[in-house]
Amino acid sequence: MSIVEQTIKKATYKVFGARPLLSAYRTKPLILMYHGVTDTPSLDLINGDGKHVHKTAFATQLKILKANFDIVPLSALVAKFHEPNPKERLMAITFDDGFRNNVTHAAPILKNLGIPATFFLSTGYIGKQRWMWTDRLENAIAQSESKFITRPGNGATLPLTTLEQKKAALRQIKAELKKKSLDTCEQQVDQIEEQLSIKNAPPHGLYRFMDWADARQLLDDGFEVGAHTINHPILSRIEIDQAEMEIADSRRHVTENTGQCSDTFCYPNGKSADYSPQVINACKKHFGAALATNKGFACKEELFELRRIGVDANISNQQLLWYMTNYATQRR
């Protein structure tokens, strides 16, 4: 038995004993949400929130999931909602945003294991030397040698002397900016970079996005690609006409550049407060379903608010197995 097989067996038995994970349960369909896969460990603030999972952990997670679920393309899982007796133990795997490591690290592992996935692209970043503002903020604080930062907007000062202080400042500023418009976020990160003497540079490493040739390669390899807006705004905080443009034009961009687009849309951020009934109605004009990030199993009653389970580098194999069983067997 290989080390990986021993890890899977040990993790499964630790949580569930000798019984197979889902043998005694009638399960609900699950959708997992990833962002990225990396071949380097997290360093200080860089990937400090674990958004990018190490490729070794990712491969082990997939083997655990494959042993317990029928992993199908997202389109197939959504189609099952329209059948009278949908198949049990279904799971779909998704990636948000469109980071280049989806192509260089995630896709080869998925392909080697014969596991499908859907990659949702924020089309205004694809093939562009453009940062997500959250990543630019993380990079600025990580690279800074300043001993403090003055928060734009309220003038409060936060210390940056230790790593823990930097982490606290990053969490606080990110949480505050997520309540503001995308333009305000970009402007205030500009001010932070200037304040911390961080030079404007193209995104690097984990922060890089794929290009359209990469997206077409994903399709050629049997994966699905989908729309995740153009600029990744929180749709409930912009005018509804602008929100519908972000939804519709992102689908058009994906279709024009790859030849096809998933009929399921993916809301940025994706919490209940991040999309409104008006946004849902706009989405219904252009898509057959939509993904949120509220935790739980996916069901046809929430076709335009499909729940997902986020997976990051901080989740252990035991926690992942617990999530799978908890959400696959819960009632709502």
Residues 25-36: tens digit of each pLDDT: 457 899 999 999
CA distance 283 to 264: 9
Whether 98 contacts 205, CB under 8 Å: no
CA distance 315 to 120: 22
Output the average pLDDT for the chain: 90
Torsion from C-alpha of 34, 37, 43, 46, nearest 10 degrees: -50
What pLDDT is recorded for position 307? 96
C-alpha angle with apex 73: 134 to 248, nearest 5 degrees?
55
Rg (CA), the chain: 20
Whether 257 contacts 212, CB under 8 Å: yes
Mean pLDDT lowest among 95-99, 198-202, 268-272:
198-202
Q: Does 245 score more than 80 pLDDT?
A: yes
CA distance 30 to 69: 9
C-alpha angle with apex 253: 249 to 254, nearest 5 degrees?
120
Work out the pLDDT band at 323, boundaries 50, 70, 90: confident
Q: Which amino acid, one-letter code, is at 25?
A: Y
- Continuous segment of H or E residues that includes residue 305: none
Mean pLDDT lowest among 44-53, 111-120, 204-213, 245-254:
44-53
Strand-pairing partners, residue 209, are 99
Whether 211 contacts 126, CB under 8 Å: yes
CA distance 152 to 210: 31
Whether 249 contacts 230, CB under 8 Å: yes
Q: Report percent pLDDT > 90 for the chain.
A: 75
Helical packing angle, 55-68 and 3-16, nearest 10°: 60
What pLDDT is recorded for position 2? 52
What pLDDT is recorded for position 36? 97
What pLDDT is recorded for position 87? 63
Work out the pLDDT band at 6, boundaries 50, 70, 90: low
- Torsional sign, CA 63, 65, 67, 73: negative
Phi and psi (nearest 5°) for 193? Answer: -60, -45
* Residue whose C-alpha is closest to residue 122's, from 187, 47, 203: 203
Q: Does 166 score more than 80 pLDDT?
A: yes
- Find tokens 């190490």 and name the residue: 54
* Residue whose C-alpha is closest to residue 96's, from 13, 31, 5: 31
Identify how many contiguous H helices and E strands the chain contains and give both numbers: 12, 12
Instruction: Output the DSSP codes for 271-285.
Output: -GGGS-HHHHHHHHT
DSSP-derived secondary structure letter, 87: P
What pLDDT is recorded for position 11? 53
Q: Report percent pLDDT > 70 for the chain.
A: 90
